[in-house]
Each structure stands twice: as structure tokens, then as C-alpha cells.
Chains A and B, each alone.
Chain A
Amino acid sequence: RKEVEQDPGPFNVPEGATVAFNCTYSNSASQSFFWYRQDCRKEPKLLMSVYSSGNEDGRFTAQLNRASQYISLLIRDSKLSDSATYLCVVRVRRNDMRFGAGTRLTVKP
């Protein structure tokens, strides 16, 4: 079983749609959680950290459920520019970041 699992998608949604991505992690000692965005053939970039209380950044909302070892990302009012692969990232130990394989999103006009 992979340490970080994501639905690979692809998710094909129309502009304006709300889309949710899920991620599960296997190590209960995981300490920090993140969503990164990776455009096609580009490097990953931090989208947002995920806090226990949940956090929001504009149209993006991240949630963490430690009991279920589950992280989510919600994108509201999706834009064409949101098309990318979204990587769930978990820090297990101080030096150990584990990346999910990513969920691909395509937003269509």
C-alpha cells in the first residue's frame, strides 16, 4: 500500500464547477500536510498547507481529519487556469516528505 494515496482522476469539470479531491495517508505519525500544484511538464509549487482546523485561501479550502488519516481539497468556482495535477504531500518525519501521485484536473469552457 502506498503511503499517500490519491484518486488519479482525471477530473473533467466545466468552468464554475465545484470539485473535491481526497487523499489518504498511512502513517499516523505524519506531522504536516500540504497540497502542491503541478502543471503539465512543470515543477510542483506549494498551493497551501493544511491545518487541523481547516483553512481557506480564496476559492480553495483544505481539510484534515487526523482520526481518519484523510485530507481534502475543495475548489469552488473552478477556472480554466485551475487545470493541473494536484499533489497531496505529507511530512512523516522532519526530513521525510511523501508525495502522492497526484489527481489530474481539467476545467473546460
Chain B
Amino acid sequence: AQSVTQLDSQVPVFEEAPVELRCNYSSSVSVYLFWYVQYPNQGLQLLLKYLSGSTLVKGINGFEAEFNKSQTSFHLRKPSVHISDTAEYFCAVSISGNTPLVFGKGTRLSVIA
């Protein structure tokens, strides 16, 4: 079975500062990795995904993530955050593209003006 640990439940950061949201996973087989964002009262929107190839993945809204197989991590980064980035961020894994996602508990990013 797969599991995902998001190490920080809340991350406050000042506007225009960099941010890193941490994600570690556990799996006995190869996985696909995803980051989703959830704005208040909305569904989940895909930020980026790692399927194979380059370990540095670029997504929407200036976010990027790096897959580290040896550390079983997939941390999300943004060099300069905006107020509009305030949301809940979820890391997720799946063992194929047609299997359910296993999510972490989420990290609430709060951007302070």
C-alpha cells in the first residue's frame, strides 16, 4: 500500500518570499506523484505531476517540484509567492494513471501581505 506524509500542516509566508511545501511518500512499487491545490469551497486543481523522466517538474502558477527517489520525496517550491497562492495544497501518489489517488493530509499555505 502507498502512503503520503505532508510534514507541515500550516505554512505562513510573506508575500514575494520563497516557499517549500514538503511531501514524503512510501511505496513498494514505482509511483506517479502529483500536487493538487484546493481553493476555498472549490474542488482540487492539478498543479503538476511526475510520471517519469526529468526529476524537476514545472507546473502552473510558477510552481515546481523535484522528485527525489532516494529520499522518497516530492517537495513543492515557488520562488516568490502571491496573496492569491493562499490555499490548501495536497500531495498525492498513484501506481498508475488509472488507479485511485492516495493523498496526504494537506498543507495550508497562508501568504501574508
User: Do chains A and B interact in one complex?
Assistant: no
Q: Which residues of A contact B (CB under 8 A)?
A: none
Q: Which residues of B contact A (CB under 8 A)?
A: none
